[in-house]
A = this chain, B = another copy of it.
């Protein structure tokens, strides 16, 4: 039987270029290893054990996840040091305990004293926990806002003094780096990120509370930071695949996008100079992050299109509207033509699929399906 090629796959389908993936992984791994920083990749983007195993090569295997479903899946996949990076609630503690009893150091995050007390209470019955305190380094999402860090010492003392609880350290996600589009702009955010978590760690240590791990995050700051002093680990996520948003932020180049959605042309509309493809809101997602920098990318651009600005400018559930400033090359793109759409935001696009069809552009331009990687979705 001949090897399966991407022409054999029903559309829409998710394609992962292993050659680009490997380069992306190596670049980040090398950069952090050379800086003396541990890599704890955020596997919320890939949600795949195969990608996860490749991502931690040369590091000690620690990872980050964003859901309990991911935690269970990566425990099953043999990972032993897992940070569940979304603020824990007391009702989820039994699920954490269940996984920790399998010999996995599944760590949780909080920024709330009531939660810290609930953890201490659960631990008093004999269960162990490892907890990070989340710091808001400027993104305005979760965490104690820096530089005030209100309540930091109170939360830390509850955790530090509780039997069976390890205060693992402090962590932040510099999500505001996603709104910068120059290396200098991102570097400034990275320095703010560093000062926030290193400052929080120093505040703890000055109070006699140990803070072994100082954990930063975000792909842009991991790429553009000029100084990691005091940081012990970084948790970038989307760098494994990259996407149009990361390209415009400057975290990667145009050749570093590992993920694409393979779609078929399903309609020609010369009266409005458009085509339709069978990848719409569900296949691409309705995330428009990259439009902050380049509105014309819509919901994704067409890789290798005859016209460089060809993009999916609108989506309904299963229809993508393809437009271009120039005349649409209908003759070269008959109905059924397959196109690869570069995602606007890889983490959100990938979530519609339960597997990756893996190709390798270093082998045959990415035609043959060389592997299939699985993916965990849901919660």
Contacts and interface: CB of A to CB of B under 8 A. Distances in A.
Interface of A: 10-13, 44, 66-68, 86-92, 95, 111-112, 114-115, 140-142, 145, 148, 150, 175, 264-269, 271-272, 276, 278, 281-283, 285-288, 316-319, 321, 334-336, 347-348, 351-354, 377-379
B87 A10 contact: no
Given A67-B318, A87-B266, A140-B272, 12 more contacts: A11-B91, A11-B379, A44-B318, A66-B318, A87-B276, A88-B266, A90-B336, A91-B264, A91-B336, A142-B266, A145-B269, A286-B348
Given A145-B271, A335-B89, A378 B351 contact: no
A276 B142 contact: yes
Contact of A89 (B112, B278, B352, B378): B278
12 contacts: A10-B95, A89-B265, A91-B336, A112-B268, A141-B276, A141-B316, A141-B321, A142-B266, A175-B316, A351-B352, A352-B378, A354-B378
Contacts of A281: 287, 348
B13 A112 contact: no
Nearest to A281: B348
Contacts of A111: 267
A375 B294 CA distance: 36
Given A141-B316, A379-B12, A351 B282 contact: yes
Given A141-B319, A316-B175, A318-B67, A266 B11 contact: no
Given A89-B336, A285-B286, A379-B12, A142 B267 contact: yes
A13 B317 contact: no
A180 B87 CA distance: 40
A267 B134 CA distance: 11
A92 B11 CA distance: 9
A335 B114 contact: yes
Contacts of A348: 281-282, 286, 317
